[in-house]
Amino acid sequence: MVQRGEFVRLAQCGALPVAELCRRFGISRKTGYKWLKRAEDLREQSRRPLHSPQRTPADMEDRVIALRQRHPAWGGRKIARRLCDLGCSGVPHPNTVTHILHRHGLIDVRRSGQGARYQRFEHERPNALWQMDFKGDFALDHGRCYPLTVIDDHARYNLVLHACAGQNRGQVQPVLTEAFRRYGLPERINTDNGQPWGSPSADHGLSHVSLWWIRLGIRVSFSAPAHPQTNGKDERFHRTLKAEVLSGRHFRDLGHAQAAFDAWRPIYNEQRPHDALALQVPACRYQPSQRRFPEQLPPIEYGPGDRVVIVGSGGAVRFKGRCFKVSSALKDQPVAFRPSDRDGHYEIYYCHHRIMRIDLNDQE
C-alpha cells in the first residue's frame, strides 16, 4: 500500500510518463493504470462537512485530540493544516487548536515555544541536491541499527529511510541503487566527511561510494568539518524521526525497526505539514528526476587536451617525473591532468570531478 500510494502521487505530478514510472517501480502498465483509476475514484467521493460559526464543536475537538495522540510531536499549525487537507470544514484557527491542546493537557508548557524560527537556503527545484547521512545508531535486542536517511533539499521529501546493520559500502550501495532506480539521479549529493562517504584528507575525501556517484554523473560535495548545519535539512529530519518514531520505543531487530520506518515515512512525506514549506507536505513539492539510473556505469572519457594517467598502488600517480597522491580508492583508474591558464599549473580530474590543483614550478 505504501508503494501504491507513492506511485500514484508521483504519477499525478506528471514529471515522468506513466510507462517510465511503472518501469522504475517494477510493475506493469496495466497495474499502474489500475492504481491510478482506483485513486481517482476515491478522490471523487464526497466528505461530510463540519461547521460551527460560534464555537468549536465537540466532534472537531475530538478530531484535534485524536490527531495529536497519533502524532504527539505535532503542534497547532500542523494539526490545523492536516485537518484541512483531510477535507474537514470548520477547522479552527491554529491558535485555537493550540488552546484545545493546552486545555486537554496535551502540550508540555516547558517545551512549548522553544523552537527557533529561521530561514534556510533551499535549491529551486527537486533533485538539485540530496542530503545524506546516518542517524545516530541505537541498540536492538539483536545488534544495532544505523538509520540511513536521504532528503531532497528543495521538497524536504524523504527518499530513503533504511535500517542498516552498519555504516559501510556493502550496506549503503544496494539501498542507494534502489533509490536511484525509483527516483532517478540527483544533480548533487552532499554528505559529511565520515565513512563510507569520505576518506582521510590524504585521499581528498574520495571513497569508493563517492567515486561511484561521480561515475554516475553526480556532483559530490562534503560538509565542512564540525559544521553539521551544512546538511541542516537532513539533521532536522533526524530530530523529527527521533521525536515521532524512536523516542520511548524499543525494537527487536532490524526488521522490526524497518517496519516502523515504513509505516511512518508516508506520514512524513504526505500527511505531516512542514513549517518550512508554508505548512505544505513534502510530497506536494517533489517530482522524480528525469535522469535515469544506468544499470551499467558509463565509460570514462576525457578531452583531447587532457593527459590521462593510470593511478598506481596506494593511490599515487606519476606525471612529468613527479609523484602525486590522489586517492587509494582510485587504484587502476584513469585520471586526467588538465593544463590551466598558468604555465606549469595543472588540475587533476576524475571524470567531471576535480581532485586537486598542482604547480610543477613548486620545487618542494
pLDDT digits (tens, 9 = 90+) for 94-109: 888 887 887 777 776 4
- The C-alpha cell at 305 is 587536451
The average confidence (pLDDT) of the chain is 87
Q: How far is CA 363 from CA 322, 344, 358, in A?
A: 10, 12, 11
φ, ψ at 152 (rounded to 5°):
-75, 130
Closest to 192 in 3D by CA, of 227, 157, 242: 227
Look at residue 43 in the predicted model and tell me its pLDDT.
66
At 236-245, the pLDDT tens digits run 999 999 999 9
Is the pLDDT at 117 greater than 70? The verdict is no
Pairing assessment for the beta strands 307-310 and 334-339 based on DSSP bridges: antiparallel
Q: How far is CA 254 from CA 62, 93, 140, in A?
A: 35, 41, 8
Torsion 133-135-138-142 (CA) sign:
negative
Report the predicted TM-score, pTM, of the whole model to 2 decimal places: 0.78
Q: Kindly report the CA angle at 223 between 221 and 229, in degrees rounded to 5?
A: 130
Cα–Cα distance measured from residue 11 to residue 21, given in angstroms and rounded to the nearest whole number: 7
Look at residue 227 in the predicted model and tell me its pLDDT.
58
Is the pLDDT at 362 greater than 60? The verdict is yes
Segment holding 29, helix H or strand E: helix 29-43
pLDDT band at 30; cut points 50, 70, 90: very high
The arithmetic mean of pLDDT across residues 224-230, rounded, is 63
Torsion 271-22-134-199 (CA) sign:
negative
Per the model's pLDDT, the better-predicted residue between 225 and 356 turns out to be: 356
pLDDT band at 110; cut points 50, 70, 90: very low
269 in Cβ contact with 183 (< 8 Å)? no
Q: How far is CA 75 from CA 92, 98, 99, 285, in A?
A: 13, 7, 11, 22
